Structure 1
């Protein structure tokens, strides 16, 4: 038998494949689970991404963030945001199983308002899409917030849910949204009514007038005294004074439309199908009619572009890096003219009782005093009074009806150069801002941003 001898291959080893770096998102700290404790309507049409693009890191102050997720137990994460005027902190626990991706319990604290400490939890069954959540304030006597309980249904093309306030038995929000062939249509109603009455009004909208009138009668006949005593405000006649015939029916329909305009929001958005291999849609264009009659046009686009790079700190096979470019445009204007004379007659009559327009009253916090003022005006330094059968939202509308809401337009751009650096800029018809941020990625992830803001009203004093 002969002997075989192997001859080593004299050719050069193969070159390693070329590599393009794909850095993590600068602001993607942890999975956005907190959204499952809120209305899904607020996240339609990439509006949250657009809001972060227009606002985050662009305040005239230094900001910092720490994110800690111990490797010994990845179910626990801590996120803290710090700035000159305050900050926030979230301590979260979430199961590690793949079947519980949207289940968590967290404790959140915010320094923006005293007593803003809450316990939040969410559970979502991945198979059926049904879920429940709750938000329980831990310092209710200080913050004045009430506990909320919600139910939801979520799927690829539809979502629906409701939020109730058990303490008062009120239906706070109800929403419904669907998506078909790139079009998304969403509707949200904030009735702030007892659950049974709100559901009856949703089934028979014409009953809403009687429900509001009954609530007004009960509140006014209940009497009572104190700083929060309800005081009626003048109304404006919209008809001929007759309570019969088609005139009354037309007035009721007008009041119903006014109430819906003050408590309902509707959004229509379009997003084309994502390209093969892409994470999301290339852009989103939307139009929204908000509560109170504000009309908002929005456009948001996220671009992931690859550029060549020569970095002496990287390996030789690294030939490129992915950059993230976000572009956002938002225009907001009022659909209905504001009554410059200060008349609050634009507030629907169905959310307040009728009273002769000869005099009105103003409340002052901490006392029971009632001082007469001229019709359509409010005493200086006083707060708007709650009207029987109305909510704080209606008071806000009444107090803001004397000031015009100017139209605003803002254009913002952010450029993430790599995993460590972020550049942002925003320009609008009221102000302009720019920011730069740096981030480190270790066991404790942290970033620091600095920004400058120029207010056109005080253009000589940039912040």
Structure 2
């Protein structure tokens, strides 16, 4: 019956199908790190820190090492998933230094990663650990805890467990973490506020176990930051963020991150004639760290250091990344096939200032998302299906409206697939 409707539609409609622009999904959106942000201080993930971490670390494997990651979700229960990783050196006896981890996770809602419980098992420290987080968006309050069950040696009070409380809204985030079995209170505390395009924050994080101990008046325990940003966290919205941070009154950190959405002509002979373009994602980041205290520094702490990184996703299958630092330069190429499950292979090369080059390899198998190409017209009208698509589902899609660029600019992401929406509106 469906084929008959398609043929009748094509006979009745003499107009050629409208030109289309492909909109590929991002390789990793939202990133795995975003699923755990409720366990961390908002100060540590805002100010572009989460985006810069993904830009500078993802797919850049350690030289002469390999990494394998398997992410699976059962069909019958989408609220649970399993992430297993194996990494080690590329030598003749990698078993001695291989690191193997497994993380079993349950979350209350498929679309809400902020209330969850996970169990972590590893052949390194900690051997067994449980984490739990409960967040109530209606009231903005949340609580979380980290409890290491098995460890070969507990060297600090943090190894006995950490609990935290937080409040979060669209413009304010405040919280604290404590160690119940320690006399030092608190472990950390933060306050972050957003006013329009400005985001400011301060964090108290003492050096646990140091001679000074917990001291609210010691400026070395305080960090503050300010950022100016535009755009949302949706891949379809261009955005940028510039931040300045004074870390522990001893180091000034300046960072810049920009996400660009561009369109180019399709250079793929396998695409239909109606496909005239494709959307590309380009990311650029810069980070500069400079010490300002003027004190003596150890050999592993530089007076000034920087790193620059960029990535280009050409389509849904290829990603190219590069970064430059004072000691080495790296380049990474990743290929992803959107099968069921998805398969990603990456290779990275690192070249230091002495002229030595090393390679790293990574393999990822993922069954957590169901992303695919979306169509849009060359005027950037999002998610406009072509005539054939309408004919196939005409009985189900009557009355639906296309997602226009004006809707995306106004923040209306309801009709977008879940992987193309912003992460959250919680600060």
Using the size of structure 2 for normalisation, the TM-score is: 0.70
Confirm or deny: 8 A CA contact 1:163 1:173 kept in the other structure. yes
Tell me which moved more, 82-91 or 9-18.
Answer: 9-18
What residue ranges of structure 1 are gaps of 5+ in the alignment?
A: 1-7, 195-211, 217-254, 340-399
Check conservation: 1:89, 1:109, Cα contact below 8 A. Answer: yes
1:91 alignment partner in structure 2: 104
**Counterpart position of 1:120:** 131
Q: Distance in 2 between matches of 1:155 and 1:76?
A: 27
| Structure 2 residue matching 1:35: 3-state secondary structure | helix
Residue 49 of structure 1: how far off its partner (Å): 1.1
SS at match of 2:224: strand
Q: Provide the residue aligned with 1:283 in structure 2.
A: 240
Alignment of 1:175-324 (within 5 A): 175-191=190-206, 259-261=218-220, 263-273=221-231, 282-291=239-248, 293-324=250-281
Q: CA deviation at 1:151?
A: 0.6
Output one character per residue of 1:284-319: Cα deviation in whole Å (capped at 9) or x when no partner: 000111136121110000112121214233344332
Describe the SS at the equivalent of 2:108: coil
2:398 aligned residue = none
Instruction: Describe the shift of the 1:418–1:270 C-alpha distance in structure 2 as closer, same or farther (beyond 3 A).
Output: same
CA distance in 2, matches of 1:448, 1:188: 38
Q: Does residue 325 of structure 1 match 2:282? A: yes
**CA distance 1:74–1:293, change in 2 (3 Å):** same
**Conservation of the 8 A alpha-carbon contact between 1:63 and 1:450:** no
Which residue pairs with 2:19 in the alignment?
18
Q: Considering only CA atoms, is the larger Rg found in Structure 1 or Structure 2?
A: 1
1:409 paired to 2:306: yes
Offset at residue 435 of structure 1 (A): 0.9
The alignment yields a C-alpha RMSD, in angstroms, of 3.1
Distance 1:315 1:286 in 2: 44
| Structure with greater proportional helix content | 1
Instruction: Tell me which moved more, 70-79 or 437-446.
Output: 437-446
1:350 maps to which residue? none
Q: Which residue of 2 aligns with 1:81?
A: 85
| Rounded Cα–Cα distance in structure 1 between residues aligned with 2:279 and 2:148 | 42
Looking at structure 2, the residues matched to 153 and 47 of structure 1 have their Cα atoms a distance apart, in angstroms, of: 20
Counterpart of 1:131 (choices 122, 142, 146) is 142
* DSSP-derived class of the 1:14 partner: coil
What residue in structure 1 maps to residue 180 of structure 2? 166
- In structure 2, the CA distance between the partners of 1:63 and 1:317, relative to structure 1 (3 Å rule), is farther
Q: Distance in 2 between matches of 1:327 and 1:110?
A: 34
Equivalenced residues, count: 334
Aligned to 1:424, the other structure's residue is in SS state strand
CA distance in 1, matches of 2:294, 2:72: 50
Aligned runs of 1:384-395 on 2, under 5 Å?
none
Give, in angstroms, the shift of residue 126 of structure 1. Answer: 1.0
Q: Larger strand proportion, structure 1 or 2? A: 2
